[in-house]
Structure 1
Amino acid sequence: MARKKAVAKKKAVDFTLLLATILLVFIGIIMVFSSSWPEGMKDFNNGYFFLRKQLIASAIGLVGLLFFMNFDYRVLNKMSRLIYGLSALSGLLIFSPLGVSLKGARRWINLGFTTFMPSDAIKIGSIIFFASFLAKKKDDIATLKKGTIPALIIIGFSCGLIYIQKDLGTTITLAGTLMCMFFIAGMKMSHLFSLIIAAFLLLIKAITGEEHAYRRRRITAFLDPFANKLDEGWQAVQSLYALGSGGLFGLGLGKSRQKFFYIPEPYNDFIFSIIGEELGFLGSLTVIMLFLLLVWRGIRIALNIDDLFGCLLATGIVSLVAIQSLIHIAVVTSSIPTTGITLPFVSYGGTSLMFYMSAIGILLNISRHTDLDRS
C-alpha cells in the first residue's frame, strides 16, 4: 500500500521540455542525413554512413535520457566527486596511447570500436561537481577565500582540461556555463567584474600568442570574410551563401548546393547553414524557437525547484545548451569568428548527442520535484 502511494505521488516530467528535445533530435537526424550524403558517398561509398551512426547515437541517447529521467538527481550530489574525477581522467587519456589526433587536433580517445570525445564528459561532469560545490558552500560564496578562489580553481582546472586539447571554443562555452552557475549561486559583484577583466586578458593572451597565429587569422577573416574568401574566410563566406540562397522557404529538403564540398563537414560545425539553405528562414526560425522553448522550460525548472543543488544543476545544463547554441548560430551567420562548435542535439556527433540527451534526462528528473505547470 505504501509503495502504491509513493508511485502515485511521483510527478510527471515537463512534457514541453521533452517534446522540444525530441523534435530537435529528429530534425538533427534528418539534416545530418541530408548534409552528409555527398561526403558519405565520396569517402565511404555509402550515403547512409553518417545517418546510421547518428541513429545509433540517438537510440543510446534516448536510453540515457529515459534512465536519468527516472534516476533521482539528488544521488548525483553524493556521486559528484567520482563523476568529476572520471570525466577529468577521460580528458587526460588523450595524452595516453589511446589518444588520437584527427583533423589537426588531439581531442579523441580510440576505444577500438569507436572514438570518444572527452570534452563532452568534462562539460557535464564539471557542471555536476560545481553545482555540488556551490550548494555546499552557499554561506561562503560571496567570500574571497572560501568562495571565489576555490570556485576559480575548479573553473580553471575544468576549462584547462579542454584548453590543452586546443579547443578554445569549447573552453569559452564551459567557462561561460560555470560562471553563470557561480553568478546564480550568489557571487560578489565586485569579484564578477574582476573576473570579467581577467577573462578578457586571458582571451587576448590565447589569441596573441605566437603559437596561435591561426586564431588571429580567423579574427582578421571575420572582420572582412569576403576579402579572405579563398583562405580563412572560406567557411564563413560559403555559410552566408547558403543562408542567403535559402530565402524564406528554402531550396527544399536535400537540395542544398553548399553541402557538395563547399562547406567542410556541413553536417557538423555548420549544420545550421544547411538548415537555412534547405528549409529557409522559416525552418531556421523553427529550430531557434525550439531552443528558446527548451531554455525557457529549463529556466522555469531552475526557478521552481526548492533544492539549491537542483537549481544550480538545472542552471548549468540550461546555460550549456544556450551558450553553445548561441555560439554555433553566431558562427554560421558570421557574427563572431569561426570556431568549431556543434549545435546541440542537431549536429552530427555521437558523444555530444548522448551526453546532451542524458543531461536533458537529468533536467527532466529535476522537473519531477517542482510544482511546475507541465502542460
Structure 2
Amino acid sequence: MRRSGFDPVFFVLVLVLMAFGSVMVFSASYADALARFDDSLYFAKKQLLFVLLALVVMPIVGSLHYKFFYRFATELYVITLGLLLLVLVIGFAGGGAQRWFSFFGISVQPSEIAKVTLILVLASYYSRNKQRVLAYTVNKELRGIEYRFVRKKNRRESFFYGIFIPFCLLGAVDVLVMLEKHISGLAIITMIALIVMFYAGGDWRWLMGVALFAVAAVVLLIILFPYASDRVEVWLNPYEHRLDGGWQTIQGLYAIGSGGPFGLGLGQSRLKYSYVSQPHNDFIFTIVCEELGFLGAMGVITLFALLVWRGLVIAKRAPDTFASIAAFGISAHIALQVLLNIAVVTNAIPNTGISLPFFSYGGSSLIVLSAEMGIMLSISRYSYIRK
C-alpha cells in the first residue's frame, strides 16, 4: 500500500462545477437583475465574490489534517446547535421562514452548516464506538492462521450505541430546523444521517424503524402545519393553482420542455424573463435544460455523478473509520441534494426550496460546500491505494 496523495480528479471536478455554475447564474439572472436593480451583473458579481471566497475556504480546510475534524467534531456540532437557536432569535425571515442571519453582509443559513457538522459528529461518534455499534463482529486471526467467523453481539448494546445515541444527535438538529419551518432541510438532514448510520454499521432493522418513524413525523408535520399541506396540495394539483403557488412549477416544466435535445443556446432562455421567478436560485436547472437542452442537462448530471463516484473512491481508500464515514457522508449529501433538486423542478416531489449544489445562487450554501470539498481533499491526502 502507498499513500495516494492529493486527488486531482476530485479537485478538477469541483472547479469545473463551480465555473459552470457561475456561468449559469449569470445567464439565468441578468434579466431579473436588470429589472430589479438596474444592473444586469448584480447577481453575477455577488456570485463571483462567493466563488472567490469559496476558493479561499476550500484549500484552507484542505490543508488541515482530517483528524482536526475528528478531534473537534463535537465542538463544531455544539456551535451549530447554538447557531440554530440564535437564528430563531435574531434571524431575519424570507419566504415565510426565519432561517438566516447576516454575517459581514453574507446571509448565513445555519441549517446548511448543520448538514456537514452532523456528518462529522456522527463519523466521530461511530469511529470511537465501532465495537459497541456493530450488531456482528468478525474475528480474523488465531495462532497466526487467518480465520473468519461471525459472532453475534449484544443486540441491546448495539441498539443503544448504534441507533439511539446517533438518533438523539440527529433529533436535536431536526427539532431546531423544524422550528425554522424548513421542511426540505429537515428531510435532507434526516436522510443524510440515516445513510451515515447505515454505512457506519447500524443494524438495518432498527434503521428501518427509524426511517418509518421519520416518514410518520413528516406526514404529521404536513397535517399540523398549513404551509406544508399547502405545498402538497400545489404539488398534486399545480394547474389548479397556476396563478399562485403552481406558477413556478408550471413555468419550470415549460422551460425544461422548451430546450429539446440541444437547447436554445446559452443566454437564450425565454422563460427567465419574468416567467420562472428568480431563475438563478432553486430552479436554475430548468434554465440549464432550456438553454443547453437534454444533452447539456445530462452533462451536468454526469459531472455530479463523477464527483460522487470520486468521493466514494476517497471513502473506500480512507485511512481510518472516521475518514471513511465522513467522506461517504459528504458524497451522500451531494448526491441527495442533486437528486432532490431535480425531483423538485420536475414536480416529482413538492417544491420545498432545495438548492442545486454549485449552481444555485447564494453564498452560505457555496461556502459550506467548499468546506466539505476541502475536507474531502484533506482525507484524500492521507488515503492509501494498492501498489
**Is the Cα–Cα contact under 8 Å of residues 83 and 110 in structure 2 kept in the other structure?**
yes
SS at match of 1:115: strand
Aligned pair 1:152/2:145, yes or no?
A: no
Matched, 1:127 2:119: yes
Partner of 2:105: 113
Contact persistence 1:345–1:357 (CA under 8 A):
no
Q: Quote the offset at 1:10 in angstroms.
A: 7.2
2:276 equivalent in structure 1: 263
Is 2:106–2:364's contact at 8 Å kept on the other side of the alignment?
A: no
Correspondence for 1:89: 82
**1:11 positional shift:** 4.8
With normalisation by structure 2, the TM-score equals 0.90
Q: 2 CA distance for matches of 1:80 and 1:173?
A: 20
2 CA distance for matches of 1:116 and 1:272?
Answer: 23
Q: Deviation at 1:83?
A: 1.1
Of the three residues 215, 224, 235, the one matched with 1:222 is: 235
Of 274, 282, 297, which aligns to 1:284? 297
Q: Is 2:17–2:303's contact at 8 Å kept on the other side of the alignment?
A: yes
Letter in 2 for 1:43: R
Q: CA deviation at 1:67?
A: 1.3
The corresponding residue for 1:191 is 206
**C-alpha distance in 1, partners of 2:367/2:35?**
27
Deviations 1:20-42 (A, max 9, x none): 11111111101111111122112
Q: Which residue of 305, 323, 337 corresponds with 2:350?
A: 337
Is residue 71 of structure 1 aligned with residue 64 of structure 2?
A: yes
1:112-135 Cα shifts (integer Å, max 9, x gaps):
533221111111111111111111
Tell me which residue corresponds to 2:42: 49
Q: What residue identity is the alignment partner of 1:253?
A: L
How big is the shift at 1:215?
2.2
Maintained 8 Å contact 2:344/2:350: yes
Cα drift, residue 157 of structure 1? 0.9
Q: Is the 2:163–2:207 Cα contact (8 Å) retained in structure 1?
A: no
1:302/1:312 contact within 8 Å kept: yes
- Between the aligned partners of 1:343 and 1:304, the Cα distance in structure 2 is 28
Q: Contact 1:301–1:372 (CA<8 Å) still a contact in 2?
A: no
Q: Is 1:306 matched up with 2:319? A: yes
- RMSD of the TM alignment (CA)? 1.6
Q: Distance in 2 between matches of 1:106 and 1:197?
A: 28
Q: Which moved more, 1:270-279 or 1:216-225?
A: 216-225
Match of 1:237 among 245, 250, 262: 250
Equivalent residue number for residue 11 of structure 2: 18
Cα contact 2:162–2:203 (8 A) shared by 1: no
The separation in 2 between residues aligned to 1:165 and 1:218, in whole angstroms, is: 16
Mean Cα displacement is larger for which, 223-232 or 165-174?
223-232
Distance 2:47 2:229 in 1: 34
Aligned residue number for residue 221 of structure 2: 206
Deviation at 1:372, TM superposition (A): 4.4
Q: 1:33 aligns with which of 26, 37, 56?
A: 26
Task: Tell me which amino acid in the other structure corresponds to 1:302.
Answer: A
| Percent sequence identity over aligned pairs | 35
Q: How far did residue 323 of structure 1 move?
A: 0.6
Retained in 2: the 8 A contact 1:249–1:280? yes
Deviations 1:182-224 (CA, angstroms, capped at 9, x unpaired): 0011111220121122111111101111xx2232232233234
Q: 2: CA distance between counterparts of 1:75 and 1:114?
A: 26
The answer as to whether partners of 1:64 and 1:357 remain within 8 angstroms in 2 is yes
3-state SS, counterpart of residue 55 of structure 2: helix
Q: CA deviation at 1:144?
A: 1.9
- Matched residue, 2:263: 250
Q: Distance in 2 between matches of 1:362 and 1:272?
A: 27
Unaligned runs of 5+ in 2: 136-157
> Structure 1: 5+ residue runs without aligned partners?
1-8
3-state SS, counterpart of residue 98 of structure 2: strand
**Alignment CA distance shift 1:321-1:79 (3 Å):** same
Equivalents in 1 of 2:176, 2:39: separation in Å?
A: 36
Is 2:194–2:211's contact at 8 Å kept on the other side of the alignment?
no
| Comparing 110-119 and 247-256, the one that deviates more | 110-119
One-letter amino acid of the structure 1 residue matched with residue 194 of structure 2: M
1:343 shift after superposition: 0.4
CA contact (8 A) 1:106 1:165 kept: yes
Q: Which amino acid aligns with 1:85?
A: V
What is the match of residue 3 of structure 1? none
Q: Distance in 2 between matches of 1:342 and 1:166?
A: 16
Q: What SS does the aligned partner of 2:299 have?
A: helix
Letter in 1 for 2:302: M
3-state SS, counterpart of residue 107 of structure 1 = strand
* 1-structure distance, mates of 2:341, 2:375: 24
Find the residue that maps to 1:252 and give its secondary structure: coil
Number of matched pairs = 362
- Report runs of 4+ in structure 1 exceeding 6 Å deviation: none
SS of corresponding position for 2:359: coil
- Equivalent residue number for residue 190 of structure 2: 175
Alpha carbons 1:100, 1:109 under 8 Å: kept: yes
Read off the aligned partner of 1:32 and give its amino acid letter. Answer: V
Letter in 2 for 1:107: R
Instruction: State which structure, 1 or 2, has the greater radius of gyration over its C-alpha atoms.
Output: 2
The answer for the alignment partner of 1:370 in structure 2 is 383
Cα pair 1:255 1:278 within 8 Å, conserved: yes
Question: Aligned partners of 1:234 and 1:12: how far apart in 2?
Answer: 49
